[in-house]
Structure formats: C-alpha cells, structure tokens
Amino acid sequence: MDNFGFLKVAAAIPHVRVADCLYNTERMKALAEEAARRGVEIVAFPELGVTAYTCGDLLLQQTLLDDADEALAELVHETRKLPLVMIAGAPLRHGTTLYNCAVVFTQGRVLGVVPKIHIPNYGEFYESRWFDSGAGITEEHINVAGQQADFGADLTFEVNGVEFGVELCEDLWTAIPPSSHLALNGAKVIFNLSASPEAAGKHLYLRQLVAQQSARTIAGYVYCSAGWGESSTDLVFAGNGLIAENGTILREARRFSTEEQLIVADVDIERLEYERRRNTSFRANNDAAENTVIEMEIPEALRAAALDREIDPLPFVPKDEEHRSERCEEIFRIQSHGLARRMAHTRARTAVVGISGGLDSTLALLVTVRTFDLLGIDRSKILGITMPGFGTTDRTYNNALKLMQGLGVSIREIPIREACLQHFRDIGLDPSDRSAAYENAQARERTQILMDVANMEGGLVVGTGDLSELALGWATYNGDQMSMYGVNASVPKTLVRHLVKWVADTEQDPATRDTLLDIIDTPVSPELLPADAEGHIAQKTEDLVGPYELHDFFLYHLLRSGYGPAKTLLLAELAFEGSYDRETILKWLRTFVSRFFAQQFKRSAMPDGPKVGSVALSPRGDWRMPSDATAEAWLRELENL
C-alpha cells in the first residue's frame, strides 16, 4: 500500500552479555530479522551494544576491541539481505583515540560512523576515562568492520528520501543537543543510542526530555537504552525504549522486562514536513550550519498492512483521565476570560444568550455563568432567552427552562412563530414552502431579537455556534452565524459534548445534573422544521450533514495535520473500524470538503471569539482563506479513491 509519508522505525533492546561481542551481535541480528518481518525501515540498538556499556576498563583492552570489530563485521555481513538500516553502538579506534560510536549500516555496507560528543565524567558516569569527544570531527574517515566509512559528528543519512541523524545518550541531556543542529540541517528523525541507568524519578524526566526534544526539533525521536543484561555491579538498566513525534510519545518499552523487546512505530514524516513549513521560527534557523548527508536507497521493506500507530477517532477530546478536569477547567477559563475582557471593554451591563435546550447554547450559558462569577456579578444579570418556533419540541423547551432555572439566570420567553408568519406574508413566502428561506427566516428572527434586547438592556449577545458548524457552514448567514462575541468559536462539537458532560459529572445540584445529561442525549438539531406526529425532533443535523465525530476527525487532519483527502480517508478507516465502513466515510468526507470550501464566506464574516485549541478558523487568526477558493483539486483526489 502507499505509505502516505510514514516511516516505520524501531528501538531494539536485545539480551546482552558483558564483553561477549559475538553473543551480542547474534541477538542484534535476530531482532533485526524480526524488525524486517514487521516492515521496519530503520532500527536502532543501545549504546555500546556490541560490547555492552558496562565493560569498564575492559574497553581499553586490545582483545575486546578487536573482538568487537570482528563481531560487527560479521553482523554487517549477515544482515546484508535485510531491507532496513541498522544503527549499532560500538567502541571504535581512530588513530590512537577511542570513541563511543554509532555505526550506521545497510545491505553489507557501513554508511557512516557518528561519535558521541558529550562525554560525561560525574556521578556513576566516568566515560572520559576511556573515550574522547567527537566534537569537531568532520569530513574524516574511519576503518570499521573491514571497511572505510565517513566519520563525523555532523553526519546525517538519507534513506529513500527521508533524512535522519544520530546522537548518543548524554548528548540529549545537554543544553544544546546535537540533534537540534541535525534537525535544522534537515534530519526529520533522530535516533539516540543510550545506556542510562535507573534512579528513582528519573524515568518521568526522561520521557519529558524525549517528548520535548521531539517537539523542539519538530522531528521523530527514537530513544533506545540498555536493558537488564547490563545491570552489573552498582547500576541497574531498565531497557527504556521511547519513540516520540513532535511532542507526543507514540510507543514505549516495558521497563524492567527480562525479555528482549522491539518497539515499533510509524513516524509521520509528511506531517513533520508540514509542521516545519508552517513554523516560521523553525524556518528562520533552517540550514544554520553545514553538514554531510549520506544518501542511500534500500529495497522497499515488507511494509505491514496496519500502521504501528494509534489513530485517535476523537482528536479534539482529552484522553488522559488523570488530567481530564485540569484540561476542561483550562478550556472554560480561556472562554470565560475572553468573554470577561470583552464585557469589561464594552462596559456591558448584561449578557444575552439564546437558549435552545441544545448542546451549544448550554455550553455558552455555562461559560457566561462562569464569567459572571469571575467578575463578581450576580448571575441574575445574565438574560437567557428561549424563543420557541415551529420546530421546538417539548423536550428542548423544557430543558432550556430547567437549565436557566438551575443556574440562576434571568429567563425571558419570546415566541417567534407569529413574527415569522408575518414576515412570510411580507415577503410573499408560502408557510408550506419548507425551503431555505423558511428555515433561515427563523434563525434571523431569533438573532434580531437577541441583538435588539441586548441594545435595550445595555448588554452584548453571546454567540453559541461551535467550530464544527463553522467548518461545515451549518449556520444561517447573519442569523446564528452572527453575535457580539462567540465563546464556542474554536470548540468543535465533540469537545462541546465532552465539556458539558464534565460539568454534569461535577454538578452538585441533582436537577441541573439531570438536565445536562438529558441535553447531552438529545439529538443535535436546529429545530427549524415542525416536529413529527409524536412531537419528536424531525430535523436531525447528523442525518443531513453527517456524524460530527467524522467531521471533527476530517477537520483536525485536513487543517491541523495538513493531510490530503486520501490520507485522511485511510486514517479514518483505521480510527473508525467497526463503526463506519469505507463507503460511509468517503461519502461524508466529500460532504465536508465541498461544504468547507463553499461556506468560507460565513467564516470571513465571523465575530470575535477566543481561541481554545490548535485548530481555529478565525479569518483574523489561524485560518486565512479566500471566500471564492475552489475545492476542485481536493475533490479530484477523492474521485480517484
């Protein structure tokens, strides 16, 4: 299958015997063969894995160094038919000096050797007793495994068009890791060969360090550390294997395992390239220094049918239960502080919110309540207006009233039926004509009421529309599309539901909690068409434009990840396997692309609202798109799927 810009990488943690080079390289070979079977393209092994890291003064012995070079030569030869690149750690002599090195090889050829730059000499680390720093070594050659190879700290390697770099253990822990320069010079994946012993609390710091460096370099980062076979004398090694991408840990090894491990993940090179293009700070420092790039082509690996990567079906919704409350609280604070500043600036005496009994207006009201609590203003100063129309059901009407009562805001009911019928007569519209004019007239009537009441009361209208509706253009232009401040403008529908659920879970008043839970269970609807014969909602949004969980997935990956339709479809099939088939996903993806382009004019005229997450569509902020842009290129790609 098309790899869609994914690079399959691995951190291998083999069994090891201290100073037994033939045994160690045999275990490397076995894990390399397993990696090849799994479609891995680049696999890294721990620091000094050929000899073992904990050899101590044996590292100065001619016998061990000769044995290491012979075993490495055998490993290079025995793996020559594997369609992958290997990175092994070994002590290598260069002139009269010994270096702690990473040896990069594939198909029987040593491509290059990278020496460790930062040699520690503190605590349990006293490597300077044996090794010199490779700092400043460039454009040199070294004899290794019976071959002569490029030798230098500035080397990067390009495999089938993907450039990667290597650093060793302590290099990562320094103020400016070599990987920072390697990334600026083009490396999109960094491999770290490490042998770092355990200490209480150290692992958490290591995870943060790896994740942060992958984010700082906008790169993939593969960290491979020695396992339990190295646990000798005074030190214990837990076999830390971590694969990160742009700040996110994709895969990690089981610590303190007595078994060999192969940690595999697909790094999204295409997304990394997109992130680097859009990050002007990264671009400003690109090509900051010279480096040597060694290029090679390898046969296409035995690519697995499935990605070694978790695809989140709800990318906007927090998954970490431990930090769920913290994240939800932070979102509410962003929304409420934005509204508080706008109210203070406009000297508004009240906030006017249209309450429908649906999710969006519920979240907007909850944010407004928090804002008034923040400003020390009595909640009764909030004016909630319910405006029943032709499609309003008893369920939503009653939930709107109960919600406002439970939150202690002022309630006003202004029916719109007679006003709309008069308007229909004025413009000559037959009320039985259920066209766009029939629906939009109701939305605009409601907006007019809210705006006029806000003028009367010296307040401002708080918008309720969310990010998903903005993306789809599922709003009436100059109707519910308009407000004086849109608190939900960057909150997608899946996150709206999650936030309201969080409030319900933490609500002390049982009646209000029950109301919130029923609102969550109510089908999403604009309620602009009359209810059915049983009084139930007849106009369900997700039946008309598609499931919001799909649209939010499309929104995230087309905009935030910069993917094309084909890659978005692939990931959606994986993420929603068992929920939606390919035909259904493709149908709604076409709908999303078509509507997103056609409805940009509504976003071009959208009101101010606080940015909450990494995806926002404000024409003054994250998204600059002409209203008349065409979707033809995206639709052609979809037609070919």
Band of pLDDT at residue 168, cut at 50, 70 and 90: very high
How far apart (Å, rounded) are the C-alpha atoms in residues 238 and 620? Answer: 50
pLDDT of residue 427 exceeding 80 = yes
pLDDT of residue 305 exceeding 90 = no
Helix (H) or strand (E) holding 503: helix 493-506
Indicate the pTM of the whole model. Answer: 0.93
State residue 297's pLDDT score. 78
pLDDT of residue 538 exceeding 90 = no
Known catalytic membership, residue 169: yes
Options 21, 169, 224, 420, the catalytic residue: 169
Options 8, 21, 41, 47, the catalytic residue: 47
> Helices marked H in 410-458 — which ranges?
417-427, 436-457
Band of pLDDT at residue 319, cut at 50, 70 and 90: confident
Check: CB of residue 335 under 8 Å from CB of residue 610: yes
Average pLDDT over residues 382-393: 97
Band of pLDDT at residue 434, cut at 50, 70 and 90: very high
Helix axes 21-37, 62-78, angle to 10 degrees: 20
Backbone angles phi, psi at 109, to 5 degrees: -120, 130
C-alpha dihedral sign at 455, 457, 458, 464: negative
Q: How many helices (H) and strands (E) does the chain have?
A: 20, 22
Q: How far is CA 69 from CA 64, 86, 93, in A?
A: 9, 16, 10
Instruction: Walk me through the domains of the chain, giving residue ranges and CATH numbers.
Output: 7-296 (3.60.110.10), 321-639 (3.40.50.620)
State residue 198's pLDDT score. 87
- Give the chain's mean pLDDT: 94
State residue 532's pLDDT score. 83
Known catalytic membership, residue 47: yes
Band of pLDDT at residue 63, cut at 50, 70 and 90: very high
Check: CB of residue 91 under 8 Å from CB of residue 82: no
State residue 290's pLDDT score. 64
> Helices marked H in 534-631 — which ranges?
541-545, 548-555, 565-575, 582-598, 600-604
User: Which has more pLDDT, 63 or 294?
Assistant: 63
How far apart (Å, rounded) are the C-alpha atoms in residues 273 and 562? Answer: 10
pLDDT of residue 47 exceeding 50 = yes
How far apart (Å, rounded) are the C-alpha atoms in residues 85 and 158? Answer: 10
109-115 vs 97-106, strand pairing mode: antiparallel
Band of pLDDT at residue 1, cut at 50, 70 and 90: very low
State residue 376's pLDDT score. 96
User: Which has more pLDDT, 122 or 227?
Assistant: 227
State residue 306's pLDDT score. 72
Average pLDDT over residues 92-112: 96
497: nearest Cα among 336, 373, 314:
314
Q: What is the pLDDT of residues 128-140, one digit of tens each?
A: 999 999 999 998 9
Q: What is the pLDDT of residues 211-265, one digit of tens each?
A: 999 999 999 999 999 998 898 788 899 999 999 999 999 999 999 999 999 999 9
Q: What is the pLDDT of residues 456-499, one digit of tens each?
A: 999 999 999 999 999 999 999 999 999 999 999 999 999 999 99
User: Which has more pLDDT, 322 or 558?
Assistant: 558
Amino acid (1-letter code) at residue 586:
L
State residue 289's pLDDT score. 58
Check: CB of residue 332 under 8 Å from CB of residue 374: no
Average pLDDT over residues 92-98: 95
- 3-state class of 627 per DSSP? coil
Known catalytic membership, residue 381: no
Q: What is the pLDDT of residues 623-637, one digit of tens each?
A: 999 999 999 999 999
pLDDT of residue 191 exceeding 50 = yes
Average pLDDT over residues 11-33: 97
| DSSP string across 177-233 | -HHHHHHHTT-SEEEEEE-----TTHHHHHHHHHHHHHHHTTSEEEEEE--GGG--T
Check: CB of residue 521 under 8 Å from CB of residue 567: no
- 3-state class of 86 per DSSP? strand
Average pLDDT over residues 396-419: 98
Backbone angles phi, psi at 216, to 5 degrees: -65, -35
pLDDT of residue 312 exceeding 90 = yes
pLDDT of residue 641 exceeding 90 = no
State residue 303's pLDDT score. 56
Check: CB of residue 301 under 8 Å from CB of residue 40: yes
How far apart (Å, rounded) are the C-alpha atoms in residues 475 and 121? Answer: 64
- Residues near 5 by beta carbon (within 8 Å), at least 6 away in sequence: 268, 269, 270, 271, 273, 567
Options 21, 41, 101, 116, the catalytic residue: 116
State residue 527's pLDDT score. 85
